[in-house]
């Protein structure tokens, strides 16, 4: 009896090992995601994630979350307690266990198999049930991912539909209640963020950033203990990241457009085009946030005054209304939906007072020297209280 007994034990052992392997492989994919995150994300999958983000940029922000998601304290990649930063792709993988970026490709492949199976059935060379496996493959390969994408669209559409509250990390923040700092690189956005947060800017503490700084806090040196916290977003000035900036427009009650008053050429290089995209964005036009152009570094000898910088802006924006407007008019595809709102009336030169869809004001300041800060913070608080 030893032979059969040993064979039975061996079979039992194999079955046990197989069951264990199956159980581990079939368990909820959080463990799998954690393991992947610990060793990084493959380059091929990174490319799929980037394509997925780009194709869903109207419903998802740059972190793969619904567009109106707010992050308490900072962006979700930075852990304020440990000081560690998570890789963007690892974060997205950890948040989307179903990996919807691969669902479209899998569904496409499954559809091809289904079509092939259907054709074979019509020709009479396949079994009568040959179509079923192909259908099942579609459900297995793409079903979960497509459901997740559908939910993301529904959630994003629901949030975008009205003044919803956005919940994240245990905090609730009203839509259209934040202060968005934007503008060209080296204009002083991060210096202003740190000044509002900590009351000072440490020399050498700011560097050109590639990720937004976010936080909810009282405005240092200006607010007392009874003041409510303000959510402030410092968006990088790198032009390569500008396609993600519209993710933040629905959150902004006030837009502080930082400008280096000592570098008026920056208006021609990039600031005017950035301002044009803001003023013609449908979300901005609908929400109508107050725009404060903070002409920073006014303490420097060669710094230009706000009225001159305003005039340069208007001149450059007038040029853009011609070139950009002509480019849009040349689009003849009937299915194309305009993604911008015309900025001027034909035959008129652009003026902020007449043609800006949002109230806009130019003020001079110097964040590091502390000049004009009381006026700037006062205007921010005034708008938040409305």
Domains of the chain, residue spans: 31-162, 176-328+342-385
CA–CA gap between residue 272 and residue 266 (Å, rounded): 8
Query: What is the structure's pLDDT at 60?
Result: 82
- Beta strand 178-182 with 213-217 is unpaired
Q: What is the dihedral of CA 42, 47, 48, 49, to 10 degrees?
A: 90
Query: What is the structure's pLDDT at 225?
Result: 85
Query: What is the structure's pLDDT at 81?
Result: 57
Phi, psi (5° rounding) for residue 265?
-65, -20
HEC per residue, 15-35: HHHHHHHHHHHHCCCHHHHHH
Q: Which two tokens stand for residue 220?
A: 């240092």
The DSSP output letter for 371 is: B
Report the largest interatomic distance among the alpha carbons of the chain, rounded to a whole angstrom: 102
Residue 92 vs residues 27, 70, 103, 155, 346: alpha-carbon distances, Å:
20, 16, 15, 17, 45
CA–CA gap between residue 4 and residue 165 (Å, rounded): 67
Query: What is the structure's pLDDT at 205?
Result: 52
Query: What is the structure's pLDDT at 14?
Result: 46
CA–CA gap between residue 29 and residue 253 (Å, rounded): 39
CA–CA gap between residue 63 and residue 306 (Å, rounded): 36
Give strand pairing partners of 214: 233
Query: What is the structure's pLDDT at 296?
Result: 96
Tell me which architecture the domain covering 176-328+342-385 has in CATH. Answer: 3-Layer(aba) Sandwich (3.40)
Contacts 24+ apart (CB under 8 A), 223-226: none
Put simply, whether the predicted model's pTM sits higher than 0.85 gets the answer no
Quick one: how many helices (H) and strands (E) in the chain? 13, 8
Give strand pairing partners of 366: 371
* 33-71 pLDDT per residue, tens: 333 343 467 877 888 888 878 888 777 887 888 766 766
Query: What is the structure's pLDDT at 323?
Result: 83
Query: What is the structure's pLDDT at 192?
Result: 94
pLDDT means per 10 residues in the chain (386 residues)? 49 48 44 43 80 80 75 63 70 81 59 54 47 39 39 40 44 74 93 91 62 90 89 91 90 96 91 94 93 96 96 94 65 53 82 94 95 95 88
Neighbours of 170 (CB within 10 A): 6
Query: What is the structure's pLDDT at 146?
Result: 40
Query: What is the structure's pLDDT at 206?
Result: 56
Which one, of 285, 265, 270, 295, lies nearest residue 361 by Cα? 295
């Amino acid at each position: 009896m030893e032979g059969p007994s040993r064979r039975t034990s061996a079979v039992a052992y194999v079955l046990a090992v197989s069951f264990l392997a199956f159980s581990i492989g079939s368990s909820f994919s959080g463990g799998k995601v954690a393991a992947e995150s610990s060793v990084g994300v493959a380059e091929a999958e990174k490319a799929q994630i980037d394509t997925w983000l780009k194709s869903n940029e109207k419903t998802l922000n740059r972190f793969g979350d619904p567009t109106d998601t707010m992050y308490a304290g900072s962006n979700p990649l930075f852990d304020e307690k440990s000081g560690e930063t998570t890789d963007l792709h690892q974060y997205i993988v950890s948040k989307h266990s179903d990996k919807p970026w691969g669902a479209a490709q899998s569904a496409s492949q499954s559809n091809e198999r289904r079509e092939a199976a259907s054709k074979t059935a019509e020709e009479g060379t396949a079994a009568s049930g040959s179509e079923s496996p192909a259908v099942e493959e579609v459900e297995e390969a793409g079903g979960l991912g497509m459901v997740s994408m559908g939910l993301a669209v529904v959630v994003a559409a629901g949030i975008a539909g009205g003044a919803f509250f956005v919940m994240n990390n245990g905090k609730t923040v009203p839509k259209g209640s934040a202060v968005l700092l934007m503008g060209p690189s080296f204009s002083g956005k991060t210096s202003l963020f740190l000044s509002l947060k900590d009351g000072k800017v440490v020399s050498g503490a700011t560097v050109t950033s590639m990720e937004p700084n976010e936080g909810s806090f009282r405005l240092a040196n200006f607010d007392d203990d009874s003041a409510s916290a303000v959510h402030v977003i410092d968006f990088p000035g790198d032009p390569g990241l500008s396609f993600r900036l519209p993710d933040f427009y629905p959150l902004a009650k006030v837009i502080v457009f930082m400008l280096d008053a000592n570098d008026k050429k920056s208006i021609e290089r990039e600031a005017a085009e950035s301002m044009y995209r803001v003023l013609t964005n449908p979300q901005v036009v609908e929400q109508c946030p107050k725009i404060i152009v903070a002409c920073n570094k006014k303490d420097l000898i060669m710094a230009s005054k706000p009225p001159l910088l305003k005039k340069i802006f208007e001149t450059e924006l007038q040029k853009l209304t011609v070139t950009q407007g002509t480019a849009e008019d040349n689009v003849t595809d009937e299915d194309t939906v305009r993604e911008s709102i015309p900025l001027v009336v034909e035959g008129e030169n652009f003026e902020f007072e007449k043609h800006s869809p949002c109230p806009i004001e130019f003020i001079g300041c110097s964040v590091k020297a502390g000049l004009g800060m009381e006026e700037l913070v006062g205007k921010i608080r005034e708008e938040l209280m409305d």
